[in-house]
Amino acid sequence: MSVLFKSTIHHLEHLAGTRYLLVPNEIVEKLGGSFSVRLWCTVNEKVKWQCGLVALGTGDAYISINAQRIKQLKAKEGESLTVALEIDDSEYGLEVPEELKELLDQDDEGNRRFNLLVAGKRRFIIRHITAVKSSQLRIERAVTLIENLKRLPAGKESFKEILGK
């Protein structure tokens, strides 16, 4: 199921000027009324990414859009855009890098601990690994994060500790 609607780029001053796409309440309802749903967002049939809804407190929601995506769209704040949202039924809500998949296949304890994390912390690890282009650096980050995770008490992991800081 795909939900199509028009939206505009706005920004939130209190979140360091975060740019976002407004998702009206009626669209949130069409998607099941839940803010915990993971989605594929496609804008102007050009740029597609995995995302989630963040509540604005009025029944409306937003989806963050970074500067790189805005640049790819050649869009400006306030400009009308066509947005298509589809439910993302992937396991983690993000594409898992091959380097992390391979490590989790080989490390039973690392895999167990990774899958005990709440979904947001799993996505944090995935994003941190995919943030670098070099496969070697992705391997090194994956090993470091999973080793840090295994040293921490289960259920008490913080983002800072997972990073080893």
pLDDT at res. 164: 87
SS3 content of the chain, % helix, strand, coil (to 5): 40, 25, 35
Domain housing 147 = 98-163
Residue that finishes a domain, picked among 87, 116, 134: 87
Same domain, 78 and 154: no
Residues 73 and 7 in one domain: yes
Judge if 79 and 105 occupy the same domain: no
Q: Are 79 and 136 within one domain?
A: no
Question: Could you tell me if 44 and 73 are in contact, meaning their C-beta atoms sit under 8 angstroms apart?
Answer: yes
pTM above 0.85, yes or no: no
- How far apart, in whole angstroms, are the C-alpha atoms of residue 47 and residue 90? 19
Does one domain contain both 48 and 103? no
Answer whether residue 136 is part of any domain.
Answer: yes
Q: Is residue 44 in some structural domain?
A: yes
Closest CA relative to residue 93, chosen from 143, 53, 65, 138: 53
Residue 34 or 112, more confident: 112
Question: Is the distance from CB of 50 to CB of 95 less than 8 angstroms?
Answer: yes
Asked if residues 44 and 82 have their Cβ atoms less than 8 Å apart, the reply is yes
Question: For 86-123, what is each residue's pLDDT tens digit?
Answer: 999 888 888 899 999 999 999 999 999 999 999 889 99
What own/partner pairs with CB < 8 Å and gap ≥ 24 does 31-34 have?
31/3, 31/85, 31/87
| Amino acid, res. 14 | H
Q: Reduced to 3 states, what is the DSSP secondary structure of residue 19? A: strand
pLDDT tier for residue 147 given thresholds of 50, 70 and 90 = very high
Residues 27 and 69 in one domain: yes
Confidence bin at 34 (pLDDT 50/70/90):
confident
Is residue 29 scored above 90 in pLDDT?
A: yes
| Confidence at residue 132, expressed as pLDDT on a 0 to 100 scale | 92
Is pLDDT above 80 for 143? yes
Query: Could you tell me if residue 93 is inside a domain?
Result: no
Q: Do 72 and 18 share a structural domain? A: yes
92 within some domain? no
Structure tokens at 31: 């998607």
Cα separation, 5 vs 142, in Å, equals 38
Residue 111 buriedness (CB in 10 A; 0-12 / 13-18 / 19+)? middle
Query: Looking at the 3D structure of the chain, how many domains does it have?
Result: 2
pLDDT band at 68 (very low <50, low <70, confident <90, very high): very high
Percentage above 70 pLDDT, the chain: 100
H or E stretch including 81? strand 80-87
**6 and 82 share a domain?**
yes
CATH of the domain at 38: 2.40.30.100
Q: Which of 67, 69, 122, 73 is nearest to 96 (CA)?
A: 122
